[in-house]
Chain A
């Protein structure tokens, strides 16, 4: 039997959810026996190929996030929203109450300790354009399963993956489901 393929990515996230994926510890060996990683910070593969499971950390804050998220949806049979930022926007969404122009001014022009003699806001064509608001990923593409938590505990991540491997609907126990 060929191995199942898993892709993971972090959009507007802090990689904390990826740390929690690594926190499944020795179960990584069990996982490696049946699965291999496609695009993921673990492999450093840059483009996602056809996959069975996609795990997305972080919300959508810029144009590149939208592109990557759509790429994941296109290539992954099952897409999992992993963590508070993916599901609610999380900490990055705190800027949603502040106009983007004011955010940029605070960060690059007027913030305490900012040194920027040219008084310009970075505008290189290679920089992804920021969206006006940070969005949870389910507002952009269809999501199959959700793993809340900041980060979701390793047991919850392993529970979901092993449920999917066994052909079951991922179900979290009371202690595996939390939002913080």
Chain B
């Protein structure tokens, strides 16, 4: 497949051979909602928030290749409603208590829910029971907030070369596991400075001593929506 152009909501966007719709959009500065995608890592295609309509079909923009002349629909009412429903499912599936979460205001899940005007979870809450791993001196793993995006899995395996995390189990039983004999974070070689600690889009991986460093009103997504500033980790957490 050679270079060419696609259109996203009518805007012409060039792509180079091998690029996905998401990569072409990012290069052109067009925002497509996402949580599990990160430009530095191989696509995972699991959160489905980047679902767009390409050539009339629903595809995940982070895994679907761009092809010449492809017409992509991104910000339609229909897709927004679908994304809002996905976000509501993510919220009720975990235990997301924004009022006391360290990542609140800098959280990409929360920011996308704001962006799509989610005012209530719509679905009945699961209130699942999930384990918190506070064994590590520098890091807390808060599985209640994990959305299984696998960014920490990819960062630890592909960048840090440590393979500290993995996702085990299937369907509703899937959970973020720690790759040590005891299953505890303290028994891994996870260390401050690891890339895996800087990619969590929600508040599942918390580095100790940093919580609430930035006051309400000055956080990343307090005043501007995520489609304007992108999926970012604030400087205070790098």
Show the binding face of A for B, using Cβ within 8 Å: 81, 84, 87-91, 93-94, 96-97, 133, 135-136, 138-139, 143, 145-148, 150, 172, 174-175, 177-180
Contact = CB atoms under 8 A, between A and B. Distances in A.
Nearest to B92: A88
* Chain A interface helix/strand/loop/mixed: mixed
Nearest to A150: B99
Nearest to A151: B99
B41 interface: no
Contacts of B113: 179
Contact of A136 (B98, B100, B125, B216): B125
B117 A180 contact: no
A96 B120 CA distance: 19
Given A177-B114, A179-B99, A89 B127 contact: yes
A174 B225 contact: yes
A174 B114 contact: yes
A148 B114 CA distance: 11
Interface string B92-118: 000111111100110000100110010
B117 A133 contact: no
A44 B68 CA distance: 68
Contacts of B125: 88-89, 93, 135-136, 139
B100 A91 contact: yes
A127 to B, nearest CB: 24
Contacts, number: 69
Interface of B: 91, 95-101, 104-105, 110, 113-114, 117, 119-121, 124-125, 127, 129, 216, 222-225
Nearest to B99: A150
A88 B119 contact: no
B134 to A, nearest CB: 16
19 contacts: A81-B120, A84-B99, A87-B119, A93-B127, A96-B127, A97-B129, A133-B127, A136-B120, A139-B124, A143-B120, A146-B120, A147-B119, A148-B120, A174-B114, A174-B224, A179-B110, A180-B98, A180-B101, A180-B216
Q: Which 5 A-B pairs have the closest CB atoms?
A: A150-B99, A179-B98, A146-B119, A96-B127, A146-B120
Contacts of B225: 174
Most central of B97, B99, B114, B127 by chain A CB within 10 Å: B99
A172 B119 contact: yes
Contact of A97 (B121, B127, B222, B224): B127
A179 B145 CA distance: 15
A172 B98 CA distance: 18
A177 B120 contact: no
Contact of A180 (B95, B105, B121): B105
A97 B101 CA distance: 18
A147 B101 CA distance: 19
B223 A175 contact: yes
Contacts of A175: 222-223
Most central of A87, A135, A147, A178 by chain B CB within 10 Å: A178
Contacts of A96: 127
Nearest to A133: B127
Contacts of A179: 98-99, 104, 110, 113
Given A97-B95, A138-B120, A179-B98, 18 more contacts: A87-B120, A88-B97, A88-B121, A88-B125, A91-B99, A93-B125, A96-B127, A97-B127, A136-B120, A136-B125, A139-B124, A150-B98, A150-B99, A174-B224, A179-B99, A179-B110, A180-B101, A180-B104
Contact of A94 (B97, B114, B119): B97
Nearest to A136: B125
B128 to A, nearest CB: 8
